[in-house]
Amino acid sequence: MEAELAQALGHLRQASHQLLSADDPSGRALVLAAQILDLEEVLGDLEVEPTYVSAVDTASQSLVIAIRHLIQAAPLVPSSVWPRVRSLLAEADDHGNR
């Protein structure tokens, strides 16, 4: 399960990187990236090193992949993470294609 969590963290990092590098004058991508970084911080308390993963086409895709891995590692994931994940998914669905 730790391997799944490490994969999830890797994909969260890719998503935040994609959003931080996006040309988005509205700043919405930056807000979403900050939310992902906050989630990474909560998960960082578990002391699992992220796995390097290759980038996919969009931040939304990276988030979906990360969430799939989080679900596989659910027994290790603090319950406070799931509301943040739902919020991220809703936001990314609207803006994560940047």
pTM: 0.88
Q: Of the candidates 21, 42, 43, which has an alpha carbon nearest to the alpha carbon of residue 32?
A: 21
pLDDT of 67 above 70: yes
Asked whether 29 and 98 are in contact (CB, 8 A), the reply is yes
Distance CA 24, CA 45 (A): 31
Residue 94 — pLDDT band, cuts 50, 70, 90?
low
Q: Of the candidates 86, 62, 77, 78, which has an alpha carbon nearest to the alpha carbon of residue 14?
A: 62
Task: Give the structural domain span for 46.
Answer: 2-95
pLDDT of 98 above 70: no
Asked whether 9 and 51 are in contact (CB, 8 A), the reply is yes
Domain count, the chain: 1
